[in-house]
Amino acid sequence: MGEQLGQTEATETFFAMSKLFQSKDMMLRRMIYLSLKEMSTVANDVIIVTSSLTRDMTEKEDSHRGPAIRALCKIIDASMMQSVERYMKQAIVLKKLIVKFSKAGFRSPYAYCFLIRIASNLINEEGEGTDSPMYDFIDSCLRHKNEMVIYEAASTIVSLKCVTPKELSSAVNVLQLFISSSKPVLRYAAVAIQYPAAVTACNVDLET
């Protein structure tokens, strides 16, 4: 068991951690969010970090938005509830937009790639599984007619932590076709992916 911080120690640590918001390191930023939530029940004057969390929720960096909302909801009081609710609604709207536009279709393959990346970030942020609409959209892009979109979807699925070896099979099949393609750019793209240990089929093809 870890050592329990007292109120004074927790408050001092809480204030010191607020300076770490300047860091761009993603792993450190995630640790900050988790620590703020844990210490918010012990430390005094935790409301001081609300400006930093609010700034993270309005940044272009998608991976900051979800954790920042959850951390802020843990420390705010009733007077700030209305302002936080607005950001939460924005996050929900973003999910709905992905579902809507994925059904409507785009002319530009770049738009599909952009949505795939947003969907991937949402899956990782919210801890969603392969039964979510976000994953269904990414999986559907494996059957797109544009090779760039197919590659983006396959490489994303391979990198997701929530997929099982069985669920990787569709992405692996696509990447195996890329590896054996007559187009050098497709072969190089497939080789450049960092394959997890579960994807043994592609590793065998790479060796041969």
Specify the pTM. 0.55
Give CB contacts under 8 A, 24+ apart, made by 141-150: 141/112, 141/116, 142/170, 142/171, 142/174, 144/109, 144/112, 146/109, 146/112, 147/186, 148/109, 148/110, 148/113, 149/109, 149/112, 149/113, 149/116, 150/174
Domain boundaries, the chain: 1-104, 106-208
Report pLDDT digits (tens) over 38-96: 776 666 666 667 777 777 776 666 677 777 777 776 776 656 666 666 666 666 666 77
Predicted confidence at residue 58, as pLDDT, reads 67
Q: Measure Cα distances from 37 to 30, 46, 154 in Å.
A: 11, 10, 35
> For residue 208, is pLDDT > 60?
no
Report pLDDT digits (tens) over 121-140: 878 777 777 788 888 889 99
Indicate the fold that domain 1-104 takes in CATH: Leucine-rich Repeat Variant (1.25.10)
Report pLDDT digits (tens) over 146-198: 999 999 999 899 888 888 777 788 888 888 888 888 888 888 887 777 665 55
